A and B are shown apart, each in its own frame.
Chain A
Amino acid sequence: MDFTIRAATLEDCKDISRMILELAEHEKVSDQIKITQRDLEQDGFSKNPFFHGIIAEVPEHLKSRDGHTKVGYSLYFYTYSSWKGRAVYMEDLYVMPEFRGKGIGKALMAKVSQLGLAAGCNQLNFTVLNWNKSSLDFYRKQGCWDVTSELGYHCMRCEGDALEHLAQGDL
């Protein structure tokens, strides 16, 4: 299939916002989305962006049933391993269902890797839900390994009241 992979621009935030919601629906958590198109614009395209985006686009004659030409995205940012140094974290990787199986997901992920390596990173990290077999299979096929299963690392989070109390030194 004919597609291009390019850096996201401010104008892409509307489509990224749409696709974030589609991905959340696939992960069965669409009620959890608090982010808006405006948040993406402010946080991704200001002086010190919190993230970077890549868009997969098809030509007009291949547009989706709903008329979209922006059919996939990856959102990533730079992180740090105190053992290995610079790393890149891929927060989202998504391709609209009707465009899957055509190499777009792999091309997006490959682009993140290429940009990460160019920035001096030696790891590409991300998370997957353990029931998401199709994604797990896709990633394993590309040569990644499961740090949680193999080393026992658990993802932990503080938010809401717990984060408030922690910041105030209450607990």
Chain B
Amino acid sequence: MRFTICAAKPEDCKDIERMIMELAVYEKMPDQVKITHKELERDGFGPNPFYQCLVAEVPEELMSKDGHTKVGYALFFYTYSTWKGRTVYMEDLYVMPEYRGKGIGKALMATVAKVAKEQHCVRLQFSVLDWNKPSLDFYLAKGAEDLTAKEGWHFLRFHGIALDNLAQEAP
């Protein structure tokens, strides 16, 4: 299938917002999505962007049932390992169901990896839900390691009132 992978532009944010919601529905947590295209525009395209994004697009004649040509995306940002140095974290990787199995997901991820290497990053990290077998299989087949299973790493989080309370104790 013919498709292109390009760096996202501000006008892509409406499609990225749409696909973020589709991914959240797939992950069974659509009520958790609070972001809108306005925040995406503000946070991804200023002088100090919080994230980078790639968009996969198909030509007009291959548009989706609902009339979309932007059919996948990868959202990532630079992070740091105090053991190994510069790293990239891939926050989202998503391809619309009717476009899967055609190499688009792999191309998106490979492009993130290529950008990471160009910036001298030594790791690409991301997270997957433990019940999401198709995604786990996809990633493990590409040589990813499951650090939670292998080494016991857990993600922890502060948000809401707990975060406010903690911040108030800062000297």
Q: Which residues of A contact B (CB under 8 A)?
A: 4-5, 20, 23-24, 29, 32-35, 39, 43, 48, 50-51, 75, 77-86, 89, 91-92, 106-107, 109-111, 113-114, 116-117, 122-131, 139, 142-149, 151-159, 161-169, 171
| Size band of the interface chain B makes with A | 35 or more
A128 contacts B20, C-beta separation under 8 Å: no
**B86 lies within 8 A of A83 (CB):** no
Contact of B152 among A82, A83, A131 (CB under 8 A): A131
Cβ–Cβ < 8 Å partners of A155 in chain B: 125, 127, 146-148, 153-155
Which of the listed residues A113, A129, A142, A161 has the most CB atoms from chain B within 10 Å of its own CB?
Answer: A113
Q: Does A157 contact B124, Cβ atoms closer than 8 Å?
A: yes
Grouping DSSP codes into helix (H, G, I), strand (E, B) and loop, the A interface class, with mixed when no group exceeds half, is mixed
Once the chains bind, are A80 and B171 in contact (CB under 8 Å)? no
Contact A144 B123 (CB under 8 A): no
Q: Which of A131, A145, A154 has most chain B Cβ within 10 Å?
A: A154
In the complex, the answer to whether B86 meets A43 with C-beta atoms within 8 Å is: yes
The listed residue with most B CB atoms (<10 A of its CB), out of A147, A149, A153, is A153
- A-B pairs, 7 with minimum CB distance: A162-B143, A143-B162, A114-B170, A130-B152, A148-B154, A113-B167, A154-B148
B145 touches A163 (CB 8 A): no
Q: A125-B156, A158-B123, A171-B143 are in contact. List 9 more A-B contacts (CB 8 A).
A: A32-B84, A50-B78, A91-B79, A131-B152, A142-B166, A144-B162, A154-B146, A159-B124, A162-B143
Task: Give chain B nearest CB distance to A134 CB in angstroms.
Answer: 14
On chain B, the residues within 8 Å of A116 by CB distance are 163, 167
B166 touches A156 (CB 8 A): no
In Å, the complex CA distance between A127 and B63 comes to 41
Q: Are A91 and B82 in contact (CB under 8 A)?
A: yes
Are B79 and A50 in contact, CB atoms less than 8 angstroms apart?
yes
Q: Does B24 contact A (CB under 8 A)?
A: yes
B68 to chain A, nearest CB (A): 18
CA–CA, A125 to B77, complex, Å?
15
Contacting A at CB under 8 A, from B9-60, are 20, 23-24, 29, 32-35, 39, 43, 48, 50-51
A170 to B, closest residue via Cβ: B110
Question: Can you list 29 contacts pairing A with B, beta carbon distance less than 8 Å?
Answer: A23-B82, A50-B86, A51-B80, A75-B82, A80-B50, A82-B23, A82-B92, A83-B29, A83-B35, A86-B43, A107-B171, A110-B166, A110-B171, A114-B168, A114-B170, A126-B155, A126-B156, A126-B157, A129-B151, A139-B156, A144-B156, A153-B148, A154-B147, A156-B146, A158-B113, A158-B124, A159-B84, A166-B109, A166-B110
